[in-house]
Amino acid sequence: MYAIIQDGGRQYKVAEGERIDVELRPAKAGDVIEFDQVLFLGGGDALKVGAPYLENAKVRGEVEAEVKDKKLISYKYQRRKQYHRKVGHRQRHLRVRITQIVVP
């Protein structure tokens, strides 16, 4: 069974045992997070589609760690003006392991 959830303006396809990286929030390793914005439940015979969300459907996950994404480099340059600027950025995420999909 799998589910499509929405969190932080993004949609994720998840199944039990998978790991996903979601937006950073105040949580520590070992905390349990519930995602209640379930858009779709699939797998097997029954397919359930929300309008826009399924009621009483939840996905539970356990926070594993806070991780950093790969470094992105932004470079600004204006020719003949002797102007250039190099900026780096690394986004931080929470790595969550999906433990349970609760079906109503």
* Residue 104 pLDDT exceeds 90: no
Kindly indicate the confidence band of residue 43, based on its pLDDT and cuts at 50, 70 and 90: confident
Domain count, the chain: 1
| Predicted structure pTM score | 0.83
| Sheet of strand 32-35, all strands in order from the earlier edge strand to the far edge | 19-23, 92-102, 58-68, 32-35
Per residue in 45-102, pLDDT (tens digit) is 788 899 999 999 999 999 999 999 999 999 999 999 999 999 999 999 999 999 999 9
**Residue 38 belongs to domain spanning:** 2-102
* Residue 41 pLDDT exceeds 90: yes
Q: Which residue has the tokens 């009621």?
A: 55
Retrieve residue 46's tokens.
């029954």
pLDDT at res. 44: 75
